[in-house]
Amino acid sequence: MNRYAHITGWGISVPDGLLTNDDIAQMVDTSDEWILSRTGIRQRYIAGDGQSTATLGADAALQALEVARVSPNDVDLIIVSTSSPEHIFPATASLVQDRIGAGKAGAFDLSAACTGFIIALNMAAQAIRTGSIETALVLGAETLSRLVNWEDRTTCILFGDGAGAFVLQASEEPGGVLSAVMRSDGSGGDLLTVPAGGSKLPTSPETIQDGLHYIQMNGREVFRFATRVMKQATEEAAEQAGMTLDEVNWIIPHQANQRIIETAARRLKIPMERVVVNLDRFGNTSTASIPLAAVEAIQDGRVKPGDQIVFVGFGAGLTWGAVAAQWTGPLPEEKRVVWPYRFYTLYQVYTRLRSLVLRFVRFVEGVIWGRRR
């Protein structure tokens, strides 16, 4: 019997801090007209105090689980795709696992910049299809505003913060994630990078003075690369899934730049009416951008169960990829209401208490074992 990995839940979380192009024009030498005409971006949201990649990710994850009517305890695997993790380690996925109280889930982060959500979706789908797991949470979550140099007008105009999550579940019904294309060309690694803070160039007063802990980008080169690979990856993923481009209802691309998306659509001969774009309101949220666009299109009724979709992304690495999928929606047999969402606030108190109890038990064990040594 074949197993399929269906997308049965979805959620997004965006911080409150609205930053318009005019606001940015107060900070660097730019204008609303320049940003809008070169990128299509009008505004973006920026995380405030107390918000981070894990808090946005956990919010999106709980919404996605609620849509799928899956209890956090039934999640087997959490993958967080991010380029702005909470720390180098522990993985942000583990912090999300704790925040949502997913007591039986494995968790890891996936780093492939803006392509990460595509790869995470494929990894989770493969784990389901092989029978290794039943239910996965796939997140794209970013607070890139914390890596942006707000004095660099070539990058600070682009990025925004946010998170999106999909729930994937096993089913014998054909559909869900059908094919994937994953590619990389590390020879272009220097085109889009945060040079310092890793093992090659650990943070030091010098790296901070030179601004090497911020995003550095060769915009023109990234632009050229993006338009080329989006066409290739979309065509390959559709073909592998047995779809012609005419049969694809929606292209949901990484939301980097309106001109990149329009160029790719033109080359694919797909009208913009079949391409989901929301970067005007959210900016480039890196790996969160594909789920942010997808969830909006589902919530406003454009994407319907049965629709054929190609998700396509590109980004630092260089990396690029695409997933072809048939949209499912919540599985019909799972009509139950799961208590975490009926008593949402209570559940959040429970997960905080659960985390505190686990820390306390660890503390007590440490004291006992410390005495015995």
List residues with catalytic annotation.
Answer: 114, 254, 284
Site for ligand ACO (CB under 6 A): which residue of 3, 146, 153, 274? 153
- Asked if residue 120 binds ligand ACO (CB under 6 A), the reply is no
- Asked if residue 26 binds ligand ACO (CB under 6 A), the reply is no
Distance CA 280, CA 284 (A): 9
- CB-CB neighbours of 48 under 10 Å: 11
- Asked if residue 154 binds ligand ACO (CB under 6 A), the reply is yes
DSSP notation for 113-169: GGGHHHHHHHHHHHHHHTTS-SEEEEEEEE-GGGTS-TT-TTTTTTB--EEEEEEEE
Shortest approach of ligand ACO to residue 274 CB, angstroms?
A: 21
- Asked if residue 114 binds ligand ACO (CB under 6 A), the reply is yes
Q: Are 3 and 172 in contact, with CB atoms under 8 Å apart?
A: yes
Stretch that binds ligand ACO, among 129-137, 203-211, 213-221, 261-269 (CB under 6 A): 213-221
Q: Are 279 and 320 in contact, with CB atoms under 8 Å apart?
A: no
Q: Which is nearer to ligand ACO, 3 or 183 (CB)?
A: 183
Site for ligand ACO (CB under 6 A): which residue of 179, 286, 328, 351? 286
Q: Are 3 and 173 in contact, with CB atoms under 8 Å apart?
A: no
Q: Which is nearer to ligand ACO, 136 or 294 (CB)?
A: 294
Q: Are 170 and 5 in contact, with CB atoms under 8 Å apart?
A: yes
Site for ligand ACO (CB under 6 A): which residue of 129, 219, 245, 302? 219
Stretch that binds ligand ACO, among 5-13, 42-50, 149-157, 355-363 (CB under 6 A): 149-157
- Asked if residue 274 binds ligand ACO (CB under 6 A), the reply is no
Q: Are 76 and 46 in contact, with CB atoms under 8 Å apart?
A: no
Token pair in block for residue 76:
């087997």
Distance CA 95, CA 293 (A): 25
Map the footprint of ligand ACO across residues 163-202, applying CB under 6 A: 192
Percent helix, strand and coil across the chain, each rounded to 5?
A: 45, 20, 35
- Asked if residue 38 binds ligand ACO (CB under 6 A), the reply is yes
Q: Are 240 and 216 in contact, with CB atoms under 8 Å apart?
A: no
Shortest approach of ligand ACO to residue 38 CB, angstroms?
A: 4
Shortest approach of ligand ACO to residue 160 CB, angstroms?
A: 11
- Asked if residue 124 binds ligand ACO (CB under 6 A), the reply is no
Q: Which is nearer to ligand ACO, 113 or 323 (CB)?
A: 113
Window 304-323: contact mask with ligand ACO (x via CB under 6 A): -----------xx-------
Distance CA 218, CA 216 (A): 7
182, containing H or E segment: strand 176-184
Rule CB under 6 A: which residues touch ligand ACO?
Answer: 30, 34, 38-39, 113-114, 153-154, 157, 192, 217, 219-220, 222-223, 226, 256-257, 284, 286, 315-316
